[in-house]
Amino acid sequence: MNVAKKIISQHLLSGKMEIGHEIGLRIDQTLTQDATGTMAYLQFEAMGVPKVKTKLSVSYVDHNTLQSGFENADDHKFLQTIAAKYGIIFSPAGNGICHQVHLERFGVPGMTLTGSDSHTPTGGGIGMLAFGAGGLDVACAMAGQPFYIIMPKIVKVNLKGKLGDWVSAKDIILELLRLQSVKGGRGKIYEFSGEGVKTLSVPERATITNMGTELGATTSIFPSDDITRNFLEKQDRKASWVRIEPDENATYDEEIEINLNTLEPLIAAPHMPDKVKKVKDLKGIKVDQVGIGSCTNSSLADMLLTAETLKGKKINKNVSFVISPGSRQVLATLANSDALFHIIESGARILESACGPCIGMGQAPKSGAVSLRTFNRNFEGRSGTKNAQIYLCSPEVALAAALTGEITDPTNYFNKKPLIEMPEKFLIDDAHFQLPPVDGSNVEVIKGPNIKSLNEFVPLDNSLNGKIVLKVGDNISTDHILPAGAKILPLRSNLPAISEYVFAAVDKEFASRAKSTSNGIIIGGENYGQGSSREHAALAPRYLGIRIVLVKSFARIHLANLINFGILPLTFDDLSDYNKIELGNEIEFEDIKNIIRENKTVYAKAKNSKIKVNYNLTQRQKDIIFAGGLLNWIKKTAN
């Protein structure tokens, strides 16, 4: 077996490991963050389970840390108290970014992890089978329910050779995005193998698995080997290590080869992570802002490289340069050495250990700015400035731009890359994690006025007459559907309020039009719902009355979220039929519930024509949609 199948087979609760078939997995660990966690815990609370049933669940505060009003602080108090009540470790603001911290302190090779954040596959860097998911799926896992996925293909990524000076792990994943595209990973697990794996540290591996999410992949994973053991030993967690490597005769469904010897510094141009180009081909473009951080590149190794490279140098006067250490541990280590001094003396601005600019929480660039970021997404408007030109790159490329004021190939600008010496032991201080009491049944859960109870949604009707309330193109992200940022993120626990912003950046009239329409229908192109795992991108449209989304193809997590909230996901059988339907058209789905129940063909009747549409649903998913959503289905099956 390969690594992925070894872990799947050990956690398989239902189904068979056959490509395209639904499987249910036992989940060992969960994580949430504060932008998605509040709703996830409201959902968990509604299930009536007295305590989480996972081996470990952690609630992180790392997204909504800008407290310009009471809403975020209220959510943090809710998360703190509900964690104490239900047996969850609470990681308050300041501890760091969930994926970085989980890698350092909690991740265990060979275990399964689901998180209400799409970049949860970061855990694959230490050999975890880690999945991003909607908050409701994570709540179900905490309640002891299986986590369901469609059995993916396992793709071997054979890494040959060794990276050259000023070429980094970020360039490996950018190369894979160049080869595969943002939708090339759908229905796949990327498993990294080959001699090049032995040259990559755990933080470098985690950079790759983190950004594997942008491929649309189910997840990504590295073996757990001696390098993994060394990382865990330095974290004083040697007991957590187990060796997990592929068998010598392991088979894969596909194979890709990347030669690290010939890899050059790469950069993703606006506005998509797969618009990858060689840095040398864009040299000379003036840069206004540079950011190093996010869950992709905020490790101690990234920060020490930054400090060594900036030693004795000054940031270009035309560049705003910000640094976000990934965790309290990383920041404390920098502060305990000369490294932080060198960073500050260069003219860099130090941000708190949080997601910050990556989620649009501050540091929006000036109008029309060119911003180079070591982050994982560069969707249009995600930075907070709609006309900003956001590029994704490695810390090496970011540093060269920060010093020169323009896009610069670091291999031609710097001398030999400094040798970064990692400490023998990391600075370990777990005092700020709040462990739950043995019995939290008497803990009072505190809910501020912005936290609204969940709505109940009605079951699907036998027949459905609807109207097209929006038509969009390819690669619509969850940022398009429901933006993040300092204005909207604080409303994540207030469904009526946040629903007013659905598709606000695409069509300002969408929310009012949807609310005034009975049974709204959305039409979309390829890869609909890519990006973040935010379930609000399905929940809020459902609140506005959306019952069907008909597209050319879906991204995995968003598809699951639509089903969880009772929205019927359909795809065009003939992609050219997309051109036959326009905004405002009336669509009729006659006897659709019985047709789907009996596995018959569904036709959409529009403008005197019949359009064949497909539904790829398991029986469990059908039952969820028929019931009006996953919570309804759980309550129904529990009785």
Which residues are CB-neighbours of 616 under 8 A, at least 6 positions away?
Answer: 571
Structural element, H or E, at residue 29: strand 29-33
Task: Judge whether 253 counts as a catalytic residue.
Answer: no
Would residue 532 show up in a list of annotated catalytic residues for this protein?
A: yes
Residue tagged active-site, from 26, 271, 377, 542: 377
Residue in 556, 604, 541 with CA at minimum distance from that of residue 577: 604
To the query of whether residue 225 is one of the catalytic residues in this protein, the response is no
Rounded (10°) CA dihedral 436, 561, 270, 344 = 0
Q: What token pair was written down for 166?
A: 């000023």
In the set 26, 28, 57, 63, the catalytic residue is 63
Catalytic residue among 28, 75, 117, 171: 117
Active site residue 236: no
Identify the bridge partners of residue 48 per DSSP, sorted by sequence position. Answer: none
- Cα–Cα distance for residue pair 170/173, rounded to 1 Å: 5
Name every residue whose Cβ is closer than 8 Å to that of residue 303 and which is 6 or more positions away in sequence. Answer: 292, 323, 325, 326, 330, 334, 339, 343
Distances from the Cα of 219 to the Cα of 223, 590, 636, angstroms: 14, 38, 31
In Å, how far from its chain's centre is CA 499? 21
Token digits for 388? 């900003």
Please give the order of strands across the beta sheet that includes 147-150.
12-14, 22-25, 147-150
382 is catalytic: no
**Per-residue tokens: 526:** 């390829």
**Residue that has been written with the tokens 């965790």 in this structure:** 327
Sheet holding 266-268, edge to edge: 276-278, 266-268, 389-392, 370-373, 289-292, 320-323, 349-350
Alpha-carbon span 243 to 503, nearest angstrom: 46
What is the residue whose two structure tokens read 């049944």? Answer: 441
Q: Tally the C-alpha atoms within 13 A of residue 335's C-alpha that lie toward its C-beta.
A: 9
Query: What amino acid is encoded at 213 in this protein?
Result: T
CA distances from 56 to 32, 50, 209, 447, 590 (A): 12, 15, 21, 24, 46
Q: Which of 28, 34, 62, 302 is catalytic?
A: 62
Name, in order, each residue with C-beta under 8 angstroms of 55's C-beta and a sequence gap of 6 or more.
28, 29, 111
**Catalytic one among 240, 532, 533, 553?**
532
* Residue whose entry in the numeric block shows the structure tokens 């970011």: 398
Q: Are 514 and 545 in contact (CB under 8 A)?
A: yes
Q: Is 230 exposed, middle or buried (0-12, 13-18, 19+ CB in 10 A)?
A: middle
Residue by residue, DSSP assigns 595-615 as: HHHTTPPEEEEETTEEEEEE-
Residue 377 a catalytic site member: yes
Count CA atoms within 13 Å of residue 359 on its CB side.
Answer: 30
How far is 125 from 191, CA to CA, in rounded Å? 10
Reference 287, options 386, 393, 408; nearest CA is 408
Q: Which of 534, 536, 547, 556 is catalytic?
A: 534
Number of residues that this document lists for the chain: 639
Which residues are known catalytic residues?
62-63, 117, 377, 532, 534
